[in-house]
Structure 1
Amino acid sequence: MDWLIAGLGNPGPDYAKTRHNAGFCFVQELARRHNVPWRLEKPWKTELARIPGPGHDLLLLQPQDFMNRSGGPVQAAAAFYRVPPARVLVVHDELDLPAGVARFKWAGGHGGHNGLRDLDRALGTRDYWRLRIGIGHPGHKDRVVGYVLARPSSAEEAEIHAAIERSMSVLDDFLAGRQEAAMKTLHSE
């Protein structure tokens, strides 16, 4: 397996269209474009989809535990498929970016994101790639939980999907080892 792409979110229909599930939206769209099915791996508490292809073989994940317990499913799949953390791309919602903006990031802190905090613990490192999908900020920290667990407005949803589309357009470059070129293109939009 060349890359593991883990979309973060919360499982179940109550959370399906919330801001917090931007990571799920990304990997679901990637699987749809490649017409690959998802399968549930109960022991790992995750759904997997595999995209074989020339140049890179991808494993997509949607952890089926809550966001703050995302690390275990990602670590289990990475260990089984022998994917080192440096070849893991975690796609997640980002409060510190406005809706419509997406940014790649190598390593670093979790910035208060509970899914990343759990991944850091489970992987034993912060040295993995992130794709941050902007969802905007509600303006005050006391409103964050309700905000991320709510559906975005129609306009915000369109912006989030536009950011996902732009991210998809540079993904081949990113996966082929041209991360700087992918970042330059995505970050200049």
Structure 2
Amino acid sequence: MKYLIAGLGNIGPEYAFTRHNAGFMVLDRLAAQHDFKFSFEKLAFVAEWKYKGRHIYFIKPTTYMNLSGKSIRYYMDQYKVQAENTLTIVDELQLPFGTLRIKPKGSHGGHNGLKNIEEIIGTTEYPRLRFGIGNNFPRGRQVDYVLKPFSNEEMAELPIILDKAGDMVTSFCTLGIQATMNNYNQ
């Protein structure tokens, strides 16, 4: 069984701990815990992990958030992974900070990264793990909010949330989307 896990974010040190980089942060935490390394390749930082008989490919697209679909499509084709085995990890304004929700499909909900993925892969039927970042910003300041680092209080809570997100990723790859939804969705 092959899986492609795409953590969305923006490359560069100025984005490292911003809310928009929640997807990168989940994959970095998994890599640190399970001792696999990312290397720079075409359109993404890529890592590979064999776990419980599964071949799992991880990507952190280098195309920036709004063009994530190009990288995901490339690696779906490269590794011959179907859309239902491709999990996209993305920040979500509509969920309170720390809330994690996995779904088998859905709309882009105004998220430009998901919108681009749908356009490029041609379907809304691909699993996604939404990482709640909250929406505590004044009207018209959404871009500033998502590109701003997590607060000190949020940073203190992040390790537990990132660990849970990592558990959800491994559950998705070993137990499937339905069991993962049943066990983890809040």
Q: Pick the TM interval, shorter chain.
A: over 0.9
Aligned length: 186
SS at match of 1:57: strand
Equivalent-residue separation in structure 1 for 2:138 and 2:20 (angstroms): 17
1:124 aligns with one of 106, 122, 125: 122
Equivalent-residue separation in structure 1 for 2:23 and 2:115 (angstroms): 15
2:52 aligns with one of 51, 54, 65: 54
Compute the TM-score of the two structures, normalised by the length of structure 1: 0.92
Contact 2:27–2:166 (8 Å) recurs in 1 = no
Q: Which amino acid aligns with 1:4?
A: L
Indicate the RMSD between aligned Cα atoms, in angstroms: 1.5
SS at match of 1:50: strand
Shift of 1:161: 3.5
Aligned-residue sequence identity (percent) comes to 38
Match of 1:171 in 2: 169
Contact 2:137–2:145 (8 Å) recurs in 1 = no
Match of 1:162 in 2: 160
Q: Which runs of 5+ in 1 are unaligned?
A: none
Aligned: 1:5 with 2:5: yes
Of structures 1 and 2, the one with the larger relative CO (CA 8 A, separation 6+) is 2
Contact 1:135–1:160 (8 Å) recurs in 2 = no
Compute the TM-score of the two structures, normalised by the length of structure 2: 0.93
Shift of 1:29: 1.0
Equivalent-residue separation in structure 1 for 2:178 and 2:113 (angstroms): 25
Q: Which runs of 5+ in 2 are unaligned?
A: none
Spell out, residue by residue over 1:35-77, the C-alpha distance to the aligned partner (whole angstroms, 9 max, x if none): 1111111xx3111000023321100000012110111011101
Q: For residues 78 and 141 of structure 1, do their structure 2 counterparts lie closer, same or farther at Cα, with a shift above 3 Å needed?
A: farther
1:64 aligns with one of 44, 62, 65: 62
Shift of 1:160: 3.9
Q: Which amino acid aligns with 2:82?
A: P
SS at match of 2:36: coil
